[in-house]
Structure 1
Amino acid sequence: MSLIALGINHRTAPVDIRERVAFPPERMPEALRELTALPMVQEGAILSTCNRTEIYCHLDQTGHQQLLDWLSAYHRLGRDQLQPYVYVHPDLEAVKHLLRVSSGLDSMVLGEPQILGQLKDAFQAASEAGTVSHLLNRLFQHTFSVAKQIRTDTAIGASPVSVAFAAVRLARQIYGDLGETTALLIGAGETIELAARHLHEQQLGRMIIANRTVERAHALASQFNGYAIALDEIPAHLAEADIIIASTASQTPVLRRDTIKTALKARKHKPVFMVDIAVPRDIEPEVGKLEDVYLYTIDDLQQVIQEGLKSRREAAHQAEEIIEVQASHFYGWLRSLDAVQTIRACRDRADASRREVLDKALAQLRQGREPEAVLEFLAHTLTNKLLHAPSANLRQAGYDGRAELIEAARELFGLDESGK
């Protein structure tokens, strides 16, 4: 019996390979059933994101080569096309790897929390497909518990490490509760989408998204209960905005000093927090000289990000210590399963001996033999039966010079050097 984690990620494989090895959600049930139909696979789960595809399996024998063959064939790739990018973690290392993945320690952005939700989705898909049972169920539940412990006991996710996160963190420092604020996001690319997501998670009061293509702005705004406008409509809404985050591909400034000055007057000089993430800049530098404007550029945010990365790296060391301990605990439980069959066989043999001797003792009682004599017979006979095989094997071990077996017997039966 063994555990295997096999896969590729952003560190080992280029994006074109990751794209070809991804599992679309609609095909996941079929893929899971195919995976667990392999002769050596007892249980299986698949994690598939934009940055990684990983297979977690409980095998009844070592078989990662067969898993690689299946993964290659499923995605119609030659084995030699995929093998250079694949990593394999067996047994204890598989447990540690899953714990590191769930905690964001193996992510492109250290400590990012989205991967835990993706792992929970992967586990749910495998549960619904009926491809996880006792062992993987216990592993994933343990993983979720450890990930929660790491989030609680360390600062792995507390500090900003992306431009969007840093911008929203600064906005919170200025306004505190964002529930009564309005944000104007200019652009509709990845950074603006991340900023919108972070603001939404912070219970932002109102969101306006402006973009050259209104359809794109509307598609993004609809995800966060926002309002979409075109770029030429920005002046009409500037006075509403407490937070402005700009990230477009424009070669000239989208917001100029005079436009902002007019909006500030309409706001009665209520402060505005502005972040210009674009290169070239979207906001004229002169805007930063206006009173009641807090203007940050991407260079200003880099210091915040570097401090956040340092904090997360320190937290990652704490997280690794937790993972070492928790992986050992789980793997100890896993190793204990190897003894279960032997324990069951010992108990079955002992119970058979008990029934046999008890039947004879009851027969003697029915024949009128004294109870004390019957009890003596039962105790003596049962003891002999239970110890006969161990005693014979230990005598043979002594004859053969197998001192390690005799020492193991002392430990097994809890005997000290005197034999007591």
Structure 2
Amino acid sequence: MTLLALGINHRTATLDVRERVAFTPAQLEQALAELRCLPEVREAAVLSTCNRTELYCVTDEAGQQAIYEWLGRFHGMEVEALTRCAYHFLDGDAARHLMRVAVGLDSMVLGEPQILGQLKEAYQVARQAKGMGGELERLFQHTFAVAKQVRTETGIGRNPVSVAYAAVSLASRIFDNLAGSRALLIGAGETIELVARHLHEAGVRRLTVANRTRERADQLAAPLGGEAITLDGIPDALIDADIVIASTASALPILGKGMAERALKKRRHRPVFMVDIAVPRDIEPEVGELSDVFLYTVDDLQEVIEENRRHRQVAADQAESLIENGVGHWQHERRLRGGGELIRDVRARGESLRDEARDQALARLAKGEDPEEVVRRLAHQLTNRLLHRPTLALREAASDDRHDLMDAAATLLLDDTSDSPR
């Protein structure tokens, strides 16, 4: 079986494509169930964030194409269009990719910490959906250990740098004094929680958090002295909002052009800074066409992100080295497990032949046959049966000029390999 990592991210696909291929939380259980039903797939986990959708599977040789076709069917996309912007990795390269994702080396914001939490959530969802088997279970656990080591031994996680931080940093460049601004945050997940914390640290004291459930919004807003509202309250809150940052798991936009136009009219066209971090988008792209709105998406945060990337490059190089060690250790353990399985199979076959020969010998003794003759026949029979398959394989290897197999056989089967065939 093969370990396969397959997906798209912010480097390979546009925001429009990433929106189409993203899995909502409500879709994940169905997606994992369908993946596991594919004959080629033995184990599966799905990671879907604003910047990437990735599938980690244990498959047979035909699994890659089958998974591409399934992904296209699930999202109503042609396989050809999907493969043009997708990537895939196998075995050791797949493990390396997962570890790089876990520590933020493959993120838009180098070293951002949120991805590790999202990966742990994906792991838990896959476990609950019974998508995890021994192979993926061990890989994810090993990946989490490597990520912890990287965070502990390098500076990759120092300083608050993430998409959330980049959004607030961009706002600080546009407003001379953030402390005098009122912010409306749409959503109440981890990203919005980080946004709220960064805004508060920047001096913003007038915060409004809008969420589907007011209770969750209040949990986020109350410690920062903010106000909690439901999504129905967004039109009124927009009138006073100078900064709007949105990040929900909604499948459809929450803030439309008409809503924004009405709010701008009531605020007498005072400009509004908006950042839509969500994928799929929470704010209709047409909102950006309004003259008093400055709308940015995750792809527009690149300048802030590149500045961060330069600062963290030294730590990233150290992280790459730790990841290589982690991949090597994982591959070593995987080979040992594979060797252990082969050893068990070989011993099981040998014991089966032994038991069969022993039972036949005991039956002959019970019939009164000469014990000495029975023992000779037992030894002859057991030797022939044990060496029959290796002998056939050696003849075939010699015929094909497979010196590697001949040398391996000599090492495995002979006490002294100095006279092994060359």
Q: Tell me the TM-score range normalised by the shorter chain.
A: 0.5 to 0.7
Change (3 A) 1:64 1:402: closer
TM-score by length of structure 2 reads 0.64
Corresponding position of 1:118: 118
1:209 and 2:205 matched: yes
Alpha-carbon deviation of 1:7?
Answer: 1.1
Corresponding position of 1:25: 25
Change (3 A) 1:416 1:156: farther
Tell me, yes or no, if the aligned pair for 1:210 and 1:228 is still in contact at 8 Å: yes
CA distance in 1, matches of 2:87, 2:399: 48
Corresponding position of 1:317: 317
Tell me, yes or no, if the aligned pair for 1:150 and 1:319 is still in contact at 8 Å: yes
Corresponding position of 1:223: 220
Change (3 A) 1:15 1:386: same
Tell me, yes or no, if the aligned pair for 1:221 and 1:227 is still in contact at 8 Å: no
5+ residue gaps in structure 1?
Answer: 169-182, 230-246, 251-277, 280-303
Corresponding position of 2:405: 405
1:301-331 deviation per Cα after TM superposition (whole angstroms, max 9, x unaligned): xxx9999644521111111112222223323
Change (3 A) 1:383 1:101: same
Tell me, yes or no, if the aligned pair for 1:188 and 1:220 is still in contact at 8 Å: no
Change (3 A) 1:185 1:389: farther
The worse-fitting range, judged by mean Cα deviation, of 368-377 and 389-398 is: 368-377
1:154 and 2:150 matched: no
Alpha-carbon deviation of 1:57?
Answer: 1.2
Tell me, yes or no, if the aligned pair for 2:8 and 2:86 is still in contact at 8 Å: yes
Q: 2:182 aligns with which of 179, 184, 187?
A: 187
1:77 and 2:77 matched: yes
Alpha-carbon deviation of 1:220?
Answer: 6.2
Tell me, yes or no, if the aligned pair for 1:186 and 1:248 is still in contact at 8 Å: yes
Alpha-carbon deviation of 1:365?
Answer: 7.8
Tell me, yes or no, if the aligned pair for 1:150 and 1:156 is still in contact at 8 Å: yes
Corresponding position of 1:259: none
Alpha-carbon deviation of 1:59?
Answer: 0.9
SS in 2 for 1:412: helix
1:223 is matched by which residue type in structure 2?
L
2:226 is matched by which residue type in structure 1?
A
Tell me, yes or no, if the aligned pair for 2:184 and 2:209 is still in contact at 8 Å: no
1:142-200 deviation per Cα after TM superposition (whole angstroms, max 9, x unaligned): 2112111211222210234469869x9xxxxxxxxxxxxxx978432679963533699
Change (3 A) 1:51 1:358: same
TM-score by length of structure 1 reads 0.64
1:7 and 2:7 matched: yes
Tell me, yes or no, if the aligned pair for 1:208 and 1:221 is still in contact at 8 Å: no
CA distance in 1, matches of 2:380, 2:130: 51
5+ residue gaps in structure 2?
Answer: 169-177, 186-190, 228-240, 245-271, 274-303
CA distance in 2, matches of 1:51, 1:7: 11
Superposed CA RMSD: 4.5
Q: Please identify the structure whose Cα radius of gyration is greater.
A: 1
Change (3 A) 1:26 1:419: same
The worse-fitting range, judged by mean Cα deviation, of 59-68 and 395-404 is: 395-404
SS in 1 for 2:108: coil
Alpha-carbon deviation of 1:33?
Answer: 0.8
Query: Where in structure 2 are the equivalents of 1:126-137 lying within 5 Å?
Result: 126-137=126-137
